[in-house]
């Protein structure tokens, strides 16, 4: 009886391990740049880490994340790419947030397709990809130490 119980338990755990793991999102997105005719393409930044923050203009926690994005973008200029991708299809709403918060980081708008493709479930949702654009880290929500965390992670990827 003990052997049967052990065998069934082992089989259960083996079956659980064989379940398909969720696929890591690929950084293969193209999103329009607010205030420009340009389209931001992840493929244009091969061999550079990318930090992309998915946000909404209506989200107060997203707005609190903007200073951390700006500081990180400035600190890693030329070594890594930092962008804010807003779900809003209304470019003017995004430009309003950019102006109101003096946002220096490149702002993207109409990112709903990318948000769906990347499996984003809430805002802010920040994803860090390495130089080969493999997912390294995800932050869900705002935290007062995001800037420190972003910089620590990027330091490891840009050495």
For residue 44, is it within any domain? yes
Number of compact structural domains in the chain: 1
pLDDT for 10 beyond 90 = no
pLDDT value at residue 72: 98
Mean pLDDT of 25-35: 90
Establish if 4 belongs to a structural domain. no
pLDDT at residue 8 above 50?
no
Whether 2 maps to a domain, the answer reads: no
Average pLDDT, stretch 103-116? 96
15 part of a folded domain: no
Residue 5 within any structural domain of the chain: no
What is the CATH number for 111?
Answer: 3.40.30.10
Residue 14 lies inside a defined structural domain of this protein? no
- Per-residue pLDDT for 35 more than 60? yes
pLDDT higher than 60, residue 56: yes
Q: Which domain holds residue 96?
A: 25-158
C-alpha separations of 10 from 5, 15, 20 in Å: 9, 9, 18
The model's confidence at residue 39, banded by pLDDT at 50, 70 and 90, is very high
138 membership: H or E segment, kind and range: strand 135-140
Determine, yes or no, domain membership for 146: yes
E strand or H helix at 139? strand 135-140
Per-residue pLDDT at 106 = 97
């Amino acid at each position: 009886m003990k052997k049967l119980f052990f065998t069934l338990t082992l089989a259960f755990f083996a079956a659980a391990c064989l379940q398909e793991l969720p696929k890591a999102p690929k950084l293969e997105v193209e999103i329009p740049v607010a205030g420009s005719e340009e389209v931001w393409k992840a493929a244009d930044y091969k061999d550079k880490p990318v930090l992309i923050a998915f946000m909404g203009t209506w989200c107060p926690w997203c707005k609190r994340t903007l200073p951390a994005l700006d500081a990180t973008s400035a600190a890693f200029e030329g070594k890594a790419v930092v962008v804010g991708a807003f779900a809003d299809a209304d470019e003017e709403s995004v430009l309003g947030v950019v102006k109101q918060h003096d946002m220096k980081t490149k702002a993207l708008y109409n990112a709903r397709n990318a948000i769906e493709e990347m499996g984003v479930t809430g805002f802010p949702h920040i994803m860090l990809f390495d130089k080969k654009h493999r997912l390294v880290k995800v932050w869900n929500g705002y935290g007062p130490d995001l800037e420190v965390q972003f910089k620590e992670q990027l330091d490891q990827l840009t050495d």
